[in-house]
Amino acid sequence: MSEENDEVEIGETGLENTMSPEETTQEPKIEVNDRTGIKVNKNYTSMVVEAGGHENMAFMEKDCRNYINKVIRLQLGEGDATAIQKYFLKMQSQNANFFCAIDLDENGWLRNVFWVDSRSRTAYEEFGDAITFDTTYLTNKYDMPFAPFVGVNHHGHLILLGCGLISSEDTETFVWLFKVWLACMSGHAPCGIITDQVGP
């Protein structure tokens, strides 16, 4: 520190050559802690303690935040987000009852999407008393949860009532998804939801 002011001089912090979390061994820990609900500042503080102080850290807290924001957006290929948006616009132009919602992060990256066609919205009015909700991973090209809302018709057949592609299976994402679901269904909640999700 300089005697004339309280500002930290770059050369004294050891952070002049900061790396991103991806360039260190901390990447898995950052992701796991984020998925379990540990806030970035607490996550970073625990890593600082493990490292023996800020001077031993290869990255700063803001780098952790940037990394988490990058990880939690949908892992789409180049042009995929544009293709999704074009598809949604086309469907809405063909049918006014087609519903879709797109969730963007603060940087404008696609985070979550949800859509329901007109047939599914009509079916929900008849068969939406109890629905199942499950998330399964699309493992062929994308490593992201697919979140279908499914009901059962009067013949005992499964019917698709809505779909989501979500960036993560955390509380914030599920709250967004279910709020959008209710908005789509005019605020009419099902009597019951069957899910494989384990609560806290």
Where do the structural domains in the chain lie, given as residue ranges? Answer: 10-71, 80-195
**Mean per-residue pLDDT, 143-170:** 87
Q: Does residue 187 have a pLDDT over 50? A: yes
pTM equals 0.59
pLDDT of res. 5: 40
Q: How far is CA 105 from the centre of its chain?
A: 9
Q: Does residue 178 have a pLDDT over 90? A: yes
In angstroms, the CA 196 to CA 58 distance is: 39
pLDDT, tens digit, 9 for 90 and up, residues 25-61: 667 777 777 766 677 788 888 888 988 998 888 888 8
In angstroms, the CA 39 to CA 52 distance is: 20
Q: Does residue 66 have a pLDDT over 80? A: no
Residue of 97 and 19 predicted with greater confidence: 97
pLDDT of res. 2: 42
pLDDT of res. 3: 43
- Judged by average pLDDT, the poorest of 56-65, 89-98, 112-121, 131-140 is 131-140
Q: What is the 3-state secondary structure (H, E, C) of 82-135?
A: HHHHHHHHHHHHHCCCCEEEEEECCCCCEEEEEEECHHHHHHHHHHCCEEEECC
In angstroms, the CA 8 to CA 1 distance is: 5
pLDDT of res. 6: 41
Residue of 135 and 127 predicted with greater confidence: 127
pLDDT of res. 12: 36
Contact between 133 and 180 (Cβ < 8 Å): no
pLDDT of res. 13: 35
